[in-house]
Amino acid sequence: MTRVLLVEGFSRALVYFRPPLIRSLQRAGHEVTVATCLESDDGVADAMAAMGVPCEHLPIIRNRIRVFGDLVLLWKLWRLIRRTQPEVLLTWTIKPNLYGPIAGRLARVPRIGIVVCGLGRVLLGSGLASWIGWRGLRFSAARCDCVVAQNPDDYESMRQHGVITARTNAIRTAGCGVDLNEFSMEPLPAQPVVLMLGRLLASKGVYEYIEAAAIVRRRRPDVRFELAGLLETGNDAVPEACIQEAAARSDIEYLGFLEDQDLVRAAIRRSCLYVLPSWHEGTPHSTLEAMAMGRPIVTTDVRGCRETVQDGINGHLTPRGDAQALADAILKMLADPERLVVMGAESRKLAETVFDARIVAQTLMQEMHL
């Protein structure tokens, strides 16, 4: 038995994305503890307890640098590691990836790995923040036994910026994979319903989705566009008023935030086409879930997204930021319902052969000698 500590910056990811890995670790006889920034209403601690996994709180401030707060996080992470004494430490998202390896080495953890779920706007941008971010990631990666990228473009960017070197044990995985049992193949409905799931951010392509919906509905008023996701704050957030205005015009139907997997599955089941016009991703989990349920995909030809679509086979790729091209692709696919069925079957096949969460879990466990 090996003691494993998983540190995640986004608490709900432990419920949505990590259960296949946690179950694989438990089946192999390992003792798993998780740590994240718990929120009073997120139900994460209860969900982890139901899986027999202790859940610890860490004061992780996402998406912002706070010198004092980050020093407190580093100190509390070090104390947590000293108390739980893991033999393997695995981290996800930027703050745990930056500070986890430092705290882990100070606490003498034998094996440390970081999973880069997507480089994000700061690292992919320019200026001082990007420079600091890359230096921090290089420093932390040098203290890891394994660095995991979730798409080829991120892997290459990390190589170019010196995060991955000839001495680095670095691998690529197909995102975090999708649970093919939880998200099983479903027949396409007769009604033309288009769906987008995701955080309501400009960089997720929400504005393009709303604009494309308006374009399509001028020609095909029978098509429904559903949008579900968590309202965010910050410079990249799409204002709630914008969502409400689009819904008032009947361009979209806003479903709110879907808090559990049953609601996500129900939304995908109602749809005949899944759309994600994101600007960049690690590997978008919502797209993998739609693929597993047999939905054809329209997404952007950008890092992390392009790996989910074989253009013309299980969907179509469109240029980033181009609402007209997005609308054209949607109209083209909806015009041929029989082709939609074939493309949906190809999506499921791709999910089974490339994006199976069990394959991803086994790859991580093998690299961490578990």
pLDDT in tens, 150-193: 989 899 999 999 999 988 899 999 889 999 999 999 999 999 99
What is the number of other CB atoms lying within 10 angstroms of the CB of residue 201? 21
Residue 121 has pLDDT above 90, yes or no: no
Kindly report the length of the chain: 370
- The pTM for the full model equals 0.90
pLDDT for position 42: 72
Best-predicted range by mean pLDDT among 34-48, 127-141, 294-308? Answer: 294-308
Rounded Cα–Cα distance for residues 195 and 201 (Å):
16
| Domain ranges across the chain | 3-177+356-367, 193-353
Superfamily of domain 193-353: Glycogen Phosphorylase B; (3.40.50.2000)
Confidence of residue 274 (pLDDT cuts 50, 70, 90): very high
Among 128-137, 148-157, 306-315, the range scoring the smallest mean pLDDT is: 128-137
Rounded Cα–Cα distance for residues 173 and 161 (Å):
20
pLDDT for position 246: 95
pLDDT for position 129: 80
Q: Do domains 3-177+356-367 and 193-353 have the same CATH topology?
A: yes
Cβ partners under 8 Å of residue 37, min gap 6: 9, 11, 57, 58, 59, 60, 61, 62
pLDDT tens per residue across span 43-102: 888 999 999 999 999 988 766 666 677 788 899 999 999 999 999 999 998 899 999 999
Two tokens at 104?
């882990």
pLDDT for position 65: 65
Question: What is the mean predicted confidence (pLDDT) over 260-266?
Answer: 93
Provide CATH code, domain 3-177+356-367: 3.40.50.2000
Between 196 and 234, the more confident residue is 196
> Whose structure tokens read 């049953």?
262
Confidence of residue 202 (pLDDT cuts 50, 70, 90): very high
